[in-house]
Amino acid sequence: MRPPVPTEMSCRELVELVTAWHEGALPLADRTRFEMHLCLCTGCRGYVQQMRRTIEVTGRLTEEDVAPAARKDLLRAFRQFARSKGEPR
Amino acid sequence: MIETTADRPPDPRADAEILLALRRGEEAAFIALVNRHHASMVRVARGWLHDRALAEEAAQEAWLGALEGMARFEGRSSVRTWLFGILANCARQRAAREARSVPLSSLEPKGDGDVPAVEPSRFLADNHSRWPGHWARAPEPWAEEQLATRETAEAARRAIEELPPSQRQVITLRDVEGLSAEEACAVLGLSEGNQRVLLHRARARVRAALERHLQGEET
């Protein structure tokens, strides 16, 4: 692993800016320092890659389906609601 | 009688179109929206309510709120963001009621804000002669096949459950449900900057948990 250019962003600083960088929220000067550091530092490239993987794993936590009981309750509530709206006042 | 079919084929219409049908009183439209969003709403409610049953109740209450309020929906946000907004209110209120009946220690810890994204011991000192603030122990690549396992997903889920509520709310909306920053801010009533800070802390903690899981590290 090679060190980043001295006086540039440190690895310790970079890991705190990863989200702002991802979100496109870094001012241009910081973004340039960030990306220059990334070009030169395998450790930080590894960190950014781990962050991407973390986001991917989190994005897969969606497998649960609607419980049948919940669906039944909701349908009952809907019918009650529809009836109350349909009634003449 | 229309059954509550889980096996009904997915409704091909867009949310906004389904909502119009629902306003006309179409029951199938309601079922279609529930099938599409209810599981997400329960997940999002858990940002405030650890207990699954309470989260389920909050989601059900939100559907009633949506039925009551649908005439006022103007389409300025997506239907999903609108539903999540109603849900956030229901879940927040329910959590506030719960908080009155649970011990203080289980409330959101204060001042956990300044935890660094990465354990400080992973870096060399800032006054290191050659590589100040550089990695002392750099992150290692993760094996793709291990990332796809159920155990890894479970480790991520546990890490999210253990986050402070405000961080859990943000990461659930952004990374689990895939909302944009703008949408998440609208649902949670946060500024862009706050949203980003919370997301940053949440992701950093989940990453650290995955690292411990994948590399068997004790940090």
- The answer to whether position A2 is within a domain reads no
- The answer to whether position A77 is within a domain reads yes
- Please list the helix, strand and coil fractions of chain A in percent, rounded to the nearest 5, in that order: 70, 0, 30
- The whole-angstrom separation of Cα B101 and Cα B197 is 30
Q: Is the ipTM beyond the 0.90 threshold? A: no
DSSP letters, A62-87, are ------HHHHHHHHHHHHHHHHHHHS
- pLDDT given at position B218: 44
CA A6 to chain CA centroid, nearest Å: 31
CA B60 to chain CA centroid, nearest Å: 18
Percent of chain A beyond pLDDT 90? 57
Q: How many domains does chain A have?
A: 1
- The answer to whether position A6 is within a domain reads no
- pLDDT given at position A7: 55
Q: What number does CATH give the domain B119-215? A: 1.10.10.10
**CA nearest neighbour of A13 among B134, B142, B57:** B134
- pLDDT given at position A83: 86
- pLDDT given at position A64: 66
* Contact (CB<8Å) B206/A23: no
Reported as a single tens digit per residue, the pLDDT across A8-31 is 799 999 999 999 999 999 999 999
Handedness of CA B205, B203, B80, B40 (dihedral sign): negative
* Mean pLDDT, contiguous 10-residue spans, chain B (219 residues): 56 89 92 93 94 93 95 91 96 91 55 79 92 94 92 94 95 96 96 97 97 76
Distance from CA of B47 to the nearest CA of A (A): 14
Distance from CA of A31 to the nearest CA of B (A): 16
Indicate the residue of A65, A74, A79 with minimum beta-carbon distance to B63.
A74
The residue range of the domain holding A21 is: 11-86
Q: Which amino acid is at B124?
A: L
- pLDDT given at position B115: 86
CB atoms near residue A29 (< 10 Å)? 8
Query: The domain B15-99 is classified under which CATH number: 1.10.1740.10, 1.10.357.10, 1.10.10.10, 1.20.1050.10?
Result: 1.10.1740.10
* CATH code for the domain of A63: 1.10.10
Angle at B82 between CA B76 and CA B88, to 5 degrees: 140
Q: If you search the block for the tokens 């609607």, which residue do you land on?
A: A66
- pLDDT given at position B116: 92
Reported as a single tens digit per residue, the pLDDT across A32-52 is 999 999 999 999 999 999 999
Residue A77 has pLDDT above 90, yes or no: no
Query: Residue A73 — pLDDT band, cuts 50, 70, 90?
Result: confident
- The answer to whether position A43 is within a domain reads yes
Counting one residue from A and one from B, how many pairs have CB atoms under 8 Å apart?
A: 158
- The answer to whether position A4 is within a domain reads no
* Domains in chain B: boundaries: 15-99, 119-215
- pLDDT given at position B90: 97
- The whole-angstrom separation of Cα A63 and Cα A46 is 29
- The answer to whether position A19 is within a domain reads yes
Q: What is the 3-state secondary structure (H, E, C) of chain B?
A: CCCCCCCCCCCCCCHHHHHHHHHCCCHHHHHHHHHHHHHHHHHHHCCCCCCHHHHHHHHHHHHHHHHHHHHHCCCCCCHHHHHHHHHHHHHHHHHHHHHCCCCHHHCCCCCCCCCCCCCHHHECCCCCCCCCCCECCCCCCCCHHHHCCHHHHHHHHHHHHCCCHHHHHHHHHHHHCCCCHHHHHHHHCCCHHHHHHHHHHHHHHHHHHHHHHHHCCCC
Mean pLDDT across chain A: 86
Contact B212/A at CB under 8 A: no
- pLDDT given at position B1: 42
